Amino acid sequence: MSKLPQLTINGLAQAVQLSERVHWIGALDPSLRTFDIILKTANGTTYNAYVVRGSEGIAVIDTVKEGFSSDFFARLESVARYDEIKVIVLNHLEPDHTGALPELMRRAPQARVYISQKAQSMLKALLKQDEFDYTPVMTGDQVSLGDRSLAFFHTPYLHWPDTQCTYLVEEQTLFSGDVFGCHFCDVRLFNDEVGDFRFSFEYYYAHIMRPFKDYVNRALALLEPLPLTTILPAHGPLLRDQPKKYVQRYRELSSAVLQSEISTGEKTLLIFYISSYGNTRRMAEAIYEGAMEVEHVRVSLYDLEGSEITPFVDLIEGADGIIFGTPTINGDAVKPVWDLLSSLAVINLKSKLGGVFGSYGWTGEGVKMVEDRLRGLKLRVPIPGIRIKLIPTDEEIESCREFGQNLAQDLLGLRQPRVIDMADLA
Ligand code: FEO
């Protein structure tokens, strides 16, 4: 049976040795059930922080959430004196990693703080002061601790603009911040000792990193060439067994779009609708027919009643254009449409084409509401939504067909950009 890391002695928190010169000085938060409002944490989380001892001084890498400061300082004091601390590295300034920073700076005033260049304004806001010493760093910068050195890799938007990773060159160890982390609390700490955390790892990626896939790929281009014996993330298990496996998994997840039969040069257009009396469905079918008349656009039609949301989110991530059809009920678009829209925050929608249509009985606000939401999600909505009162006439069906055709042509860049009169949007 494996030996548990000794986290306390006589009730006092202790550092956990990871190598001759590296210790874990983080904190466990097993009771947490929701993180940042949106993330579920079924068995809590950890706030991982580390100490690196070099021949000419000590570096502290990240701190913990404020309420866990006493464990952090007790662990730090078990392996270092404050006057030995030369360097404080913050890979990311979110409060779960900087809660103990102001007090650490008070206790080790000689230590220099190293942050990414993008973190400067955040640090000032966090400390509520403008004048203090720190060193902004970028990819390629290093700091020496004598016989140990730390190299910095700027990895923006994983998942804040400020995020960076720090590499302990002599031990091939990556302090990765939130990257490769997950919310999983287990006193056994190491990935080859803890319970099965695959679900947490994937869930964390899906909610925290997936919206920034392009940035994940850019970060991987920096990190993949590094020799790695260990990855030490800011949350969850410490990845000492097969660390490259987690890098590879990020590569797979950030590359994945649904396999499709779409040939190069073709665009994909998805039409989602829901219909109470069949009127919005008739509009959807006419839009579908109109769009299909345009060559090199692959059009698909989906009734929102026919599927769970997750497969639709995956489809939308890989699509070039998305059109939503909603009736207006009680002055609003209907819940299945809002449910799908609210699930799209985890993917990058910027510059995808959007469109909206729907039938209504009295007022028809739903179409405009969804249109506003699409613009808020950074979709391009080149043609105002189309609304039809109750049962569409033949003429109105024809206008739907044209709407679909125009949007499909727009996807291919075949329509002139249209100047929208603000009055049309009122
Ligand atoms: Fe773990 Fe983004 O803070």
pLDDT (tens digit, 9 = 90+) per residue, 3-16? 789 999 999 999 99
**Nearest-CA residue for atom 2 of ligand 1:** 94
CATH of 262-410, one of 3.40.50.1100, 3.40.50.360, 3.10.20.600, 3.60.150.10: 3.40.50.360
Nearest one of 353, 346, 349 to 411, comparing CA atoms:
353
As a whole number of angstroms, the distance between CA 251 and CA 257 comes to 12
pLDDT at residue 146, rounded to an integer: 98
**Pocket lining: 92 vs ligand 1, CB cutoff 6 Å:** yes
Mean pLDDT estimate for the chain: 93
Nearest one of 350, 339, 348, 424 to 386, comparing CA atoms:
424
**Nearest-CA residue for atom 3 of ligand 1:** 94
**Pocket lining: 29 vs ligand 1, CB cutoff 6 Å:** no
In degrees rounded to 5, what are phi and psi of residue 260?
Answer: -135, 170
As a whole number of angstroms, the distance between CA 203 and CA 410 comes to 36
Q: What is the CATH number of domain 8-255?
A: 3.60.15.10
User: What is the residue extent of each domain of the chain?
Assistant: 8-255, 262-410
Which range in 238-247, 250-259, 408-417 is most confidently predicted, on average pLDDT?
238-247
pLDDT at residue 131, rounded to an integer: 73
**Pocket lining: 178 vs ligand 1, CB cutoff 6 Å:** yes
As a whole number of angstroms, the distance between CA 4 and CA 269 comes to 54
pLDDT at residue 27, rounded to an integer: 98
As a whole number of angstroms, the distance between CA 263 and CA 353 comes to 19
Sheet with 50-54, strands from edge to edge, namely 16-17, 22-24, 50-54, 57-61, 85-89, 112-116, 134-137
As a whole number of angstroms, the distance between CA 71 and CA 73 comes to 6
3-state DSSP call for residue 231?
Answer: strand
As a whole number of angstroms, the distance between CA 421 and CA 426 comes to 10
**Pocket lining: 96 vs ligand 1, CB cutoff 6 Å:** yes
- CA–centroid distance, 14 to ligand 1, in Å, is 23
- CA–centroid distance, 158 to ligand 1, in Å, is 9
Q: What DSSP string runs through 327-367? A: --BTTB--HHHHHHHHTGGGS--TT-EEEEEEEESS--HHH
Six token digits for residue 78 = 């078990």
pLDDT (tens digit, 9 = 90+) per residue, 373-419? 999 999 999 999 999 999 999 999 999 999 999 999 999 999 866 55
Higher confidence at residue 424 or residue 130?
Answer: 130
Residue 275 has pLDDT above 60, yes or no: yes
Please count the residues of the chain.
426
Is-cis flag, bond preceding 296, omega within 30? no
Nearest one of 356, 402, 398 to 380, comparing CA atoms:
356
Q: Residue 343: pLDDT band by 50, 70, 90 thresholds? A: very high
As a whole number of angstroms, the distance between CA 272 and CA 357 comes to 10
3-state DSSP call for residue 23?
Answer: strand
Same CATH topology for 8-255 and 262-410: the answer is no
As a whole number of angstroms, the distance between CA 317 and CA 259 comes to 12
3-state DSSP call for residue 54?
Answer: strand
Alpha helices, H only, 277-418 = 279-292, 309-318, 335-342, 365-376, 394-411
